Amino acid sequence: QVQLVESGGGLVQAGGSLRLSCAASGRTLTAYHMGWFRQAPGKEREFVAAINWSGGQTYYADSVKGRFTISRDNARNTVFLQMDSLTPEDTAVYYCTTAVALRLGVSPSSPNMYDSWGQGTQVTVSS
């Protein structure tokens, strides 16, 4: 069983930055993709970013490309999301997720890639 705990959310003004962290425990996850999704009030959960096991491949939603950066520290079983140039449209609950198995042919932007999810951390961007 994998436990994911997010931190780093909060209230920030438009144009500001936040850095989210997600610490995983329970088993070694270095071989699999990790990612971030978000859900705004009244909207579906949507893909934000993902990273492969080595950190050599990253994937971003078009809406955050150039503003957000995903990274991971496998020694600490932790994934990060650096969020810059935030806008009110980025307001949402952000969820960390990880795969615990290899799934060939599944896109890293699909929730079907992932098995375990954190409880979420609120990010609010004021205008």
% of the chain at pLDDT higher than 90: 80
**Higher pLDDT pick, 4 / 29:** 4
Tell me the mean pLDDT in the region 6-35. 90
DSSP for 40-100?
Answer: -TTS--EEEEEE-TTSS-EEE-TTTTTTEEEEEEGGGTEEEEEE-S--GGG-EEEEEEE-S
Res 103 pLDDT > 70: yes
**Residues 84 and 68: beta-carbon distance below 8 Å:** yes
Statement: residue 1 has pLDDT above 80: no
Please check whether residue 81 is in contact with residue 49, taking contact to mean a CB–CB distance below 8 angstroms. Answer: yes
Q: How much is the average pLDDT of 104-125? A: 94
Query: Which of the four pLDDT bands, split at 50, 70 and 90, describes residue 28?
Result: low
* Between residues 105 and 62, the one the model is more confident about: 62
Mean pLDDT rounded to a whole number for the chain? 93
6: closest CA among 125, 100, 124, 117? 117
The one-letter code for the residue type at 100 is V
Q: How far apart are CA 5 and CA 118, in angstroms?
A: 6
**98 - beta bridge partners?**
34, 116
What pLDDT sits at residue 59? Answer: 97
Cα(73)–Cα(104) distance, integer angstroms: 23
Would you state the pLDDT for residue 101? 83
Which pLDDT score, from 0 to 100, does residue 26 have?
Answer: 82
What gap in Å lies between CA 57 and CA 107, rounded to an integer?
13
